[in-house]
Structure 1
Amino acid sequence: MSTSIPVIDLTGARLPGGPRAAEVAHALREAGTRSGFFYVRGHGVPQAMVQAQFALAQRFFDLPLEAKQAIDLRRVPNMRGYESLGAQTLDATARPDLKESFYCGLEYADDHPYVLRGHHSYGRNQWPADLPDMPGQCYAYIAAMQTLAQRLMQLMALSLDLPEDFFDHTHDNPMGTLRLLRYPPHPDNADERTFGAGAHTDWGAITILAQDAHGGLEVQMPEGDWVPATPVEGCFVVNLGDMIPRWTNGRYHSNPHRVRNVRSGGAPRHSIPYFYNPDYEARVEPVATCVPAGTAPLYEPCTVGEHLRQMYARTYGSKTDAPAMA
């Protein structure tokens, strides 16, 4: 494990007012001001639940291609479902990403106001007919990730010298996207522009990643060097998305990362990220503790949805709502 990516133990800080909350908040501040990446242990998510999710991912990707394509994410406006190998290119200077994936997330009914307004990511999920247990298992995992993400937002508030509940009002109608990923072995004849996932930053607030034992995730440090985020048993990898620098006036970082499945011995790599975003209509603006007296904020106020649309326009030259984050 690279010492550049710290391990933060949430024991004693998993609940509001926990005895170690201030200590953990300090550690989060140190990570946020450097790489925006850290491991968490003592997170309260049973390891059996994580392993069951990996087993489910393998069962899904082992389905016949036609069964997966029947729930292609392009069939629905909120982009939930299957994404085929090479369908995404996260780094515009690289080749198409060598990965296939499945998206699902928090589900909202057809008559929910945000669904009726066409807000991205709000709506129903698509599920494969051959895996009837998949929805229940994924919803249980999403609930665990949502609890952890919202607690991390509370600890982030403490790290910014704000009240612990400062961000709680942004959780009213949150966006949460679970992604199952499979990366084939890295080709022997691959060039330097070939990646499982090209270099990118995440657009949202917090990403919580479970990865299998193969490794392959690399993080770019502020100095420019790439370091491996080696799998650590019992830990998630957490990274801050581009929304957090906006909230912290640039104090906390959202660093680039990429994936190359080069150490798997010919086996596919699986990973399971959960992308947490607050309420689409919640306001995002630099918090007062991050704006020095007498200076103007570096970022204009916006909503969560406006931020995501701006990130999409910057990447794709369109003002269409953002697709599910990478």
Structure 2
Amino acid sequence: MGIPVIDLAGALAPGGPRVAEVVQQMREAAMSAGFFYVKNHGVPADMVARQFDTTRDLMNLPPERREALSIDKSPIMRGFESLGAQTLDENAQPDLKESFYCGMEWPADHPYAVAGYQTYGPNQWPAELPAAKTQCVAYVDEMNTLSVRLMQLLALSLSLPEDYFDAACKDPMVTLRMVRYPPHPKDADDRTFGAGAHTDWGAVTILAQDSSGGLEVQMPDGSWVPATPIEDTFVVNLGDMIPRWTNGLYHSNPHRVRNMYTGAPRYSIPFFFEPEFFARIEPVPGTVPEGEAPKYKACTAGEHLNEMYAKTYGFKSPSAETAPA
């Protein structure tokens, strides 16, 4: 059992000639690995290459500049995260990775930014890399467009209207994370990872990875398989909101990273797509058998995301219970 490759050619627009075929492939992947590659995804290769260049430029800034733009100085965790700052697997050592976080450029007077809700607010940009903001904002826009289309295809895979999730995807919570993993220590124990085993928190993650390898996915039978880099593809995985939305029909599978193969730093660029802060996450029609109770408690996307941030970082956001006036 491996991770399937899904060709999005002919399915990137509603009514495309291959929509039905792609929808069936996505349904099969979602019910097993929760992971799949996508090719012919519509994002230009030169844009992805520029994003990797930007990632290297950011991570090569001197330590004092990265500290000046630390996520600790941002109420919504935008900026640099230091090596070992996150522990995704509570049974493992701190993760051997360092990152830069950014997201959509929200206007300061947006009600969610005013309220201080997670992901809605200003980014932190290094003045010495003026092109970084332009590139990252353009890349986020491309990823957001692809994410919305993937959500539409997922809706079709659940025998729902194509636009079923569209309202939830307006004003989404998104995070672009640029990550550098140092080479895996030669004397590391078996509890040392670049990223410990975890599931993602949101709806859809779209990952661009370099050629280093190291990402592994746990299959339903408990085995771990490599997500080997494939040129001109993204790795897509479903986050924890999808099982909640589908009553467990679709999976959010654990994955981990160990940069063991090249002796060089590994760079990866995950884009995390979460629906709008007040989107209701509860089983969609047709996923709860008659006479049975839902497997998950209903919540808003904001409540779910805040719970995850609090668990991993101790972060607390304003209440997700009431929309701002």
2:68 is the counterpart of 1:73: no
Structure 2: which amino acid aligns with 1:270?
Answer: Y
**Aligned pair in 2 of structure 1 residues 256, 321: CA closer, same or farther (>3 Å)?**
farther
Q: Report the residue type matching 1:127 in the other structure.
A: W
Instruction: For residue 135 of structure 2, give the secondary structure of its aligned residue in structure 1.
Output: helix
Task: List per-residue Cα deviations over 1:198-256 (Å, max 9, x = no partner).
Answer: 11000100000000000100001111111100000110000000000000000000010
Structure 2 residue ranges without an equivalent (≥5): 319-325
Unaligned segments of structure 1, at least 5 residues: none
Tell me the SS of whatever aligns to 1:38.
strand
2-structure distance, mates of 1:279, 1:179: 19
Matched length: 318
Shift of 1:18: 1.2
Please state how far the C-alpha of 1:175 moved relative to its aligned partner: 1.0
Structure 2 residue aligned with 1:98: 96
**1:290 is aligned to 2:290:** no
- Pair 172,18 (structure 1): closer, same or farther in 2 beyond 3 Å: same
Calculate the TM-score normalised by the size of structure 1.
Answer: 0.95
Find the aligned partners of 1:50 and 1:319 in 2 and give their Cα distance: 31
Cα RMSD over matched residues?
A: 1.4
| 2:275 aligned residue (269, 278, 281) | 278
Q: Does 1:307 align with 2:288?
A: no
- Residues of 1 paired with 2:205 and 2:112: CA distance? 23
Residues 110-153 of structure 1: CA deviation (Å, up to 9, x unaligned) = 21111122211110100112101100000110010000000000
Identical columns (%):
63
Question: Corresponding residue for 1:159?
Answer: 157
- Which residue of structure 2 lines up, in the alignment, with residue 241 of structure 1? 239
Relative distance call for 1:262 and 1:319 in structure 2 (3 A) is: closer
Corresponding residue for 1:203? Answer: 201
In the alignment, the residues of structure 2 paired with residue 129 and residue 319 of structure 1 have an alpha-carbon distance, to the nearest angstrom, of: 27
In 2: Cα distance, 1:116 partner to 1:133 partner: 27
CA contact (8 A) 1:217 1:260 kept: yes
User: What does the per-residue CA deviation read over 1:27-61, in whole Å, with 9 as the maximum and x for residues that have no partner?
Assistant: 00000000100000010101111111111111111
Secondary structure of the corresponding residue to residue 77 of structure 1: coil
2:322 counterpart residue number: none
Instruction: Name 1:218's counterpart in structure 2.
Output: 216
Letter in 2 for 1:299: Y
Classify the secondary structure of the residue corresponding to 2:174. strand
The equivalences for 1:1-326 within 5 A come to 4-264=2-262, 266-312=263-309, 315-316=311-312, 320-321=316-317
8 Å contact from structure 2 (residues 86, 312) kept in 1 = no
Q: Distance in 1 between matches of 2:209 and 2:201?
A: 20
CA distance in 2, matches of 1:210, 1:318: 28
User: How far apart are 1:301 and its partner, in Å?
Assistant: 2.1
The answer to whether the Cα contact below 8 Å between 1:184 and 1:268 also exists between their aligned partners in 2 is yes
